[in-house]
Structure 1
Amino acid sequence: MSSSERIPFPFKIIPLEDEDQKKIAKDFVGNPTGLASCNHWGFKLSATVTEQELEDLYNHPLDPRDVWVVTPPKCGTTWTQEMVWLIANDLDYEGAKTPIMPDRYSFIDFAALSDKEFEAKFAAAAAKEGEPPRSGPMDMASLANRPSPRFVKSHLPFSLNNPRLLDTCKVVYVARNPKDACVSFFHHMRLIRLHDFLGDLELFMDYFIKGQVVEAPFIEHMIEAWNLRHHPNLCFLFYEDMKKDLRAQIRKVSKFLGKDYSEEQVDKLAEHLHIDNFKKNPWVNADHMKDGKIMHTDRGSFIRKGKTGDWKNHFTPEMNEKFDKWMAEKMKGTDLTFVQELEKQD
């Protein structure tokens, strides 16, 4: 098969049961039609996603010069994107003074996770206020007009991304302890109006465990990548390792991308990426979306705590027991393990 030949999408889109869809629509205002399972282990996207969209993503154009960041949501994605972009672009801090998305990265699966009915209402409301129409700057189309090397963000698992991806492009993948990811995703789902979760953390955790949250389940996503970790074009990182020794991970990614930086340069990048500075960086903290239309203005910020072990401040003993039981079942047969807290972190 030639590199230009389209590959048929191998999975069927399967909507959830009606009762589950009704519950999701009630608790996630931004997903009024619910979710659909889109691969062999039930990865969830909007119920309005089409097979054509998924086939287009499965055949996403690839260029050997491009660099991808692939993660489940809330696993340090934006943090890693900034690190990767600066390393690949010779530490161009001036060039990094522009929104990380959509200016520097394409978020290719954005359209597939958003409910088309909700998006249409969102666009109509904006038009009524006299705003210019949105051209989908974070979706797949934005990639075509960018010069290579291009930078791509995807929350899709490898089984839904182009199967030629790892043989063509460099990919940095980040995994994170699912407990912290769950807490972070809960806050994110409350913040972003395209999801707009109305319940509490305990209810959200139940959805998370059932894999009934958009771009979940997480553990299968990470196991799938873990099993590919020895591929020469894959750099597999753990969020907790970045928290424990960011400089070591900067060196690891630099070597992976064919770059060599001095200790002083590594120190400067680590300082730039330190969570205290990162939270204040308007180019990564989605400041351009803080007008209340895309994000609620009273539910926190896009970049939150960036801590390992924060789940301990949120889970009750009963929630933790339930989560541990679920994780133990999911992790059977894999040597992938997660660090749940750190004694010391930056």
Structure 2
Amino acid sequence: MVWLIQNDCDYEGARCLLCPDRYHFLEAAGMTTSMKREKIRLGRNPVSKKLFFGSIQERTRPRFVKTHLPLHFCPPALIDTAKVIYVARNPKDMCVSYFHHTAVFKERSLALTLDDFAALFMDGEVSQLPYFPHVLEAWKQRHNPNLLFLFFEDMKRDLRGTIQKVADFLGKSLTKEQLDGLEFNLHFDNMKKNPWVNKSMAYAYSPLTAEELEAMAAKEPPPQFMRKGQTGDWRNHMSQQTSDKMDAWIQRELAGSDLKFITG
């Protein structure tokens, strides 16, 4: 969404990998094991080399940067010198999504249950966590004119309105035709069918060449990066006991805050 709005809905130019071609992924190398980084360094895949080892200084301006890091891990002057869009998702759906995501990138044992993962999630024992300090830090900055705080659930409820909100934040004017096109292309089902967003992610994170990955995919289709993108899907996966524990955790962590989530 951000890249297309900033680049005047250049769909032809968008036919490239989200990472690393359009965005600099700030902590990509730091999220992976030294063994995987070395495989990529010695591999034959120029895309993954750029993703993991490319310099942000090599990118043309305006630069687009993606990160899962909390604000206090980012440059101190970030909000004073750049536009920041922060997206939060309700913790129950995020927990389920993250559980499946770790399987896609082989970051957990397949024997680990969702209940066990949820316990680790609430304890902050998963990378990119703890959850609430991360979100609440950004929530406190929501009135800063250089930060736009968005909820994933609002994108699902009113995608067109979210597109307009992002365009206004970036100082871009969109025609009705551009809004129509963005609303269609950014619908989750259409994004899932878009190989430049979904299927090609496996190539960007692999030391193998595209030809080698295609040969492997012919034998066993790789898991897709985008799964469901639904609000309230946690009900189809989470036990009542874990749901109750998460409700108590959410209530405890949000005590004294006016931050509220839509969980269903």
Q: TM-score over 0.5 for the alignment?
A: yes
Counterpart CA distance in 2 for 1:142 and 1:241 is 34
Counterpart CA distance in 1 for 2:161 and 2:188 is 16
Q: Give aligned-pair identity as a percent.
A: 45
Counterpart CA distance in 1 for 2:86 and 2:20 is 20
Counterpart CA distance in 1 for 2:194 and 2:35 is 33
C-alpha deviation, 1:118, in angstroms = 4.5
Structure 1 pair 134–253 and aligned structure 2 pair: CA distance change class (3 A): closer
Structure 1 pair 171–291 and aligned structure 2 pair: CA distance change class (3 A): closer
Counterpart CA distance in 2 for 1:288 and 1:84 is 18
Counterpart CA distance in 2 for 1:197 and 1:138 is 25
Q: Which residue, 95, 99, 104 being the options, matches 2:17?
A: 99
Structure 1 pair 133–106 and aligned structure 2 pair: CA distance change class (3 A): closer
Name 2:7's counterpart in structure 1.
89
Name 1:312's counterpart in structure 2.
235
Amino acid at match of 2:51: M
Aligned 8 A contact 2:51 2:204 in 1: no
Aligned 8 A contact 1:123 1:134 in 2: no
- Alignment partner of 1:331 is 2:244: no
Q: Which residue, 15, 26, 30 being the options, matches 1:112?
A: 30
Structure 1 pair 169–290 and aligned structure 2 pair: CA distance change class (3 A): closer
Aligned 8 A contact 1:106 1:139 in 2: no
Amino acid at match of 2:253: K
Structure 1 pair 90–337 and aligned structure 2 pair: CA distance change class (3 A): same
Counterpart CA distance in 1 for 2:151 and 2:202 is 28
C-alpha deviation, 1:306, in angstroms = 0.7
Q: Deviations over 1:149-179 (max 9, x none)?
A: 0100011100110010000001111111010
Q: Deviations over 1:249-296 (max 9, x none)?
A: 111110111111122321210100011110010111142525995799
SS of the aligned residue for 2:230 comes to coil
- Alignment partner of 1:152 is 2:75: no
Aligned 8 A contact 1:174 1:238 in 2: yes
Counterpart CA distance in 2 for 1:303 and 1:138 is 19
C-alpha deviation, 1:132, in angstroms = 5.6
Where does the alignment leave 5 or more consecutive residues of structure 1 unmatched? 1-82, 342-346
Give the 4+ runs in structure 1 shifted more than 4 A: 132-135, 290-299
C-alpha deviation, 1:200, in angstroms = 1.7
Aligned 8 A contact 1:99 1:286 in 2: no
Deviates more, 1:145-154 or 1:290-299: 290-299
Counterpart CA distance in 1 for 2:72 and 2:244 is 31
How do residues 11-160 of structure 1 correspond to structure 2 at under 5 angstroms?
A: 83-120=1-38, 122-123=39-40, 127=43, 131=44, 136-139=49-52, 141-160=54-73
Structure 1 pair 312–140 and aligned structure 2 pair: CA distance change class (3 A): same
Name 1:46's counterpart in structure 2.
none
Amino acid at match of 1:303: M
Aligned 8 A contact 2:47 2:204 in 1: no
Counterpart CA distance in 1 for 2:20 and 2:83 is 20
Give the TM-score of the pair, scaled to structure 2. Answer: 0.88
Aligned 8 A contact 1:240 1:308 in 2: yes
Counterpart CA distance in 2 for 1:243 and 1:271 is 13
Give the TM-score of the pair, scaled to structure 1. Answer: 0.68
SS of the aligned residue for 1:235 comes to strand
Q: Name the structure where helix makes up a greater proportion of residues.
A: 2
Amino acid at match of 1:322: K
Name 1:246's counterpart in structure 2.
159
Amino acid at match of 1:315: M
Counterpart CA distance in 1 for 2:17 and 2:183 is 20
Counterpart CA distance in 1 for 2:178 and 2:26 is 31
Aligned 8 A contact 2:19 2:204 in 1: no
Counterpart CA distance in 2 for 1:217 and 1:298 is 33
Name 1:212's counterpart in structure 2.
125
Amino acid at match of 1:328: Q
Structure 1 pair 289–181 and aligned structure 2 pair: CA distance change class (3 A): same
C-alpha deviation, 1:319, in angstroms = 0.9
Aligned-residue Cα RMSD (Å) equals 2.3
